[in-house]
Structure 1
C-alpha cells in the first residue's frame, strides 16, 4: 500500500457533504450529527469478512456496494430514513491503491443512491479484509418498526422475491468477477445482481410505519429470521410455501424443490419480512407485497410450515 493511513482517508474517503444534519465528519476525532426535533435516532452495525460474507477476489466496487447496502437494510427494517455511516476497514498489507480507489467509487455510488453521508471511520492492517459499517438514520419519534409487536391474526408479509441471491452463490463463488466482466448470461446476471446489489427497502419501510405491527429484514433466511419475530413477539408464524414469491430463474436453474429451500433458508435476500393487521391487506397488495401466512397463538412451536411444526432444524445461516 503506497498511501499512508491519513493520505488514504483524504484521497479515497473525504467526500463533499450535502446534509445539513452533519456538523462534523471525516477528518476530526469524532463526528457530530444533529437529530431533528421530533425524531428518534436509529443505529445499526454490520461486519463482513472476506471469504465468509463475500469472495475475497470479487471486484472491489462490488464488495463495497454489497457491504453498504446490507448495512442500510437494517434501517429499512426499522422504517428509518438513512442519515450517516461510519466505515472501519481492516486491510491486508498488499492492498493496492487501485483496489482502494475502486472500493471508494463503489461505496460513494451507493451512498449517493441512498442519500447517506460518510462521517468517519478507522483503518488498520489485518491478514484478512474486514469491513465494518455503522449506519444511522432517523424515524419519527415512537414510530420505529420492531420485531416484538406481531399480533395473533396478523398476516405475514414479504416485500418481494426471495432466494435469488442464494441461487447465484455457486456461480459467484466459481467466478466472482464474471458479473462485472459481463460473462454471465442475462438471467444469471439477474441473480448475481441480487447478491452484489441487494436493494434496501428504504421507501417501503417508511410507508409501513403505522401499518406493520412488526418487521425485520431477511439476511439469514426466511425461517431463521421469521423465528426472531416469533420469539420476540411470543407468537407462532404459520407459513404457506405456495404463497412465497420465488424467482422463476432460480426455479429453472435449481429446480422447484431446491429453489424453495434456498428461499426458506438461503439468506442474503434483504427483503422485508413483516406482519400487519388483516385490514391492511389491500394497501399492502397495492404496494407490491406478498402475504405468505398468518400469525397464530404460540403453543409449543415458533414456526409452522404448511401445517407442520418445525423443530430443532437449522433454518438459515449460522455465524457460529
Structure 2
C-alpha cells in the first residue's frame, strides 16, 4: 500500500530510501543516514558529500531576504560537513525561482550564498536554475576529512559526556538565517580529542539527540539546569524542540570531557561548550532530569520537514 506523503515522516522516508539504495561500490564507507556520505579518498583521507534543500514556507517565510536565504542554504550544508569533523571544499547550487523579478532576486540569492562560501573557503563550481512557483534552493557541498578525525553519529559509548557548542532555542526569531556553522569548533574538537559521536542540531536537541542515541544503540540522560538557552528563551521546550540551532551536539569520554572543561577555564579560550548530560545503556531513548528532580522522556517533537 502506498502511504500518503502527509503521513510520512522525514526519518521514515530516509529509511525507505536507505533500504532501496544500498551502495554497491566498496569505496562507500557511510551511505544514507548520517550528516554526510563518506567515501574513501586519497590515502588517510575520506571524501564527504552532503546536500540540503530549502523550500519557501518550510525553511523560511515568503518575503524573507533572498540574500539571507542564499547564505542559509550554503551554511546548512557546511554545517553538515562540520558535524563529520571535516572541511568543506566545493559546492553546487540549484535554484527554482518564481518568474517575477527572477534576475534581480537571483542576484541577491547568489550574493548571500557566495558570501558564506567565501567565508569558509568553499569554491562554487556549478549548479542549475529553473522556474518554480515558489523559491527552492539546494546546495550540494563536497569536503574532506582525515580518517582519524572522522566523526559519526554512531560511536558514542556508555558513560560518554554529552555537549553542545552554543545556546539553544529561539532560532525562528532570525538566527536560523544568520547562524555561523561551527566549523572552527568541530575542527578544534576532532584535532584535540577523540570525538566519539557528533551531529549538528538542525531539527532540535530533542530530535537530534534521539537520532544520535539510536545510531549508537544507547540511551541518554540530560539535565534541564545545564541546557544553555538563547537570550529571550524562557521555556525549556523551546531549547529542546524549536530546531535550526545548527550547534554541534557531540560526545566525549569522561577523560576527554574533563580535559576540555579544564581547557575552557584558561584565559583567552574563545569557544563555548556546554556539558549537558551523559550516554547510558540503562534504557533507550532520551530522558531529562528536570529542575524539580523528575525524570521525563524527551520525544521527537522538533522541526518538521513534512
When the two chains are superposed, the root-mean-square deviation of aligned CA atoms in Å is: 1.6
Matches of residues 277-288 of structure 1 in structure 2 within 5 Å? 277-285=253-261, 286=264, 287-288=271-272
CA deviation map 1:55-92 (0-9, x unaligned) = 12111111111111111100110011110111111111
Of 240, 260, 264 in structure 1, the residue corresponding to residue 223 of structure 2 is: 240
What is the aligned partner in structure 2 of residue 274 from structure 1?
250
Distance 1:156 1:203 in 2: 19
Tell me if 1:207 matches 2:183: no
Tell me if 1:105 matches 2:87: no
Distance 1:61 1:111 in 2: 13
Distance 1:44 1:162 in 2: 24
Structure 1 residue 281, shift from structure 2 partner? 2.2
Distance 1:72 1:295 in 2: 27
Q: Structure 1 139/197 Cα, relative in aligned 2: closer, same or farther at 3 Å?
A: same
Distance 1:219 1:237 in 2: 19
Question: Are the equivalent residues in 2 in contact too, given 1:90–1:124 (CA < 8 A)?
Answer: yes
Tell me if 1:126 matches 2:107: no
What is the aligned partner in structure 1 of residue 238 from structure 2?
262
Distance 2:126 2:114 in 1: 14
Matches of residues 1-320 of structure 1 in structure 2 within 5 Å? 37-166=43-172, 168=173, 192=174, 194-209=175-190, 210-247=193-230, 249-251=231-233, 256=234, 258=235, 260-285=236-261, 286=264, 287-299=271-283, 301-306=284-289, 308-310=295-297, 313-320=299-306
Question: Are the equivalent residues in 1 in contact too, given 2:210–2:300 (CA < 8 A)?
Answer: no
Q: TM-score, normalised by structure 1?
A: 0.75
Question: Are the equivalent residues in 2 in contact too, given 1:158–1:274 (CA < 8 A)?
Answer: yes
Q: Please, which runs of 5 or more residues in structure 1 have no aligned partner?
A: 1-34, 169-191
Aligned residue pairs: how many? 252
Distance 1:61 1:149 in 2: 37
Structure 1 residue 204, shift from structure 2 partner? 1.3
Distance 1:92 1:200 in 2: 28
Distance 1:141 1:240 in 2: 33
Q: Please, which runs of 5 or more residues in structure 2 have no aligned partner?
A: 1-40, 265-270
Question: Are the equivalent residues in 2 in contact too, given 1:234–1:298 (CA < 8 A)?
Answer: no
Q: Structure 1 319/96 Cα, relative in aligned 2: closer, same or farther at 3 Å?
A: closer
Question: Are the equivalent residues in 2 in contact too, given 1:63–1:196 (CA < 8 A)?
Answer: yes
CA deviation map 1:212-271 (0-9, x unaligned) = 100000010101000001100011110101001112x323xxxx3x2x211100001000
**Bigger CA radius of gyration:** 1
Paired residue secondary structure (2:127): strand
Distance 1:51 1:304 in 2: 32
Distance 2:57 2:259 in 1: 41
Question: Are the equivalent residues in 2 in contact too, given 1:70–1:198 (CA < 8 A)?
Answer: no
Distance 2:88 2:300 in 1: 33
Question: Are the equivalent residues in 2 in contact too, given 1:49–1:129 (CA < 8 A)?
Answer: yes
Distance 1:80 1:278 in 2: 24
Question: Are the equivalent residues in 2 in contact too, given 1:40–1:142 (CA < 8 A)?
Answer: no
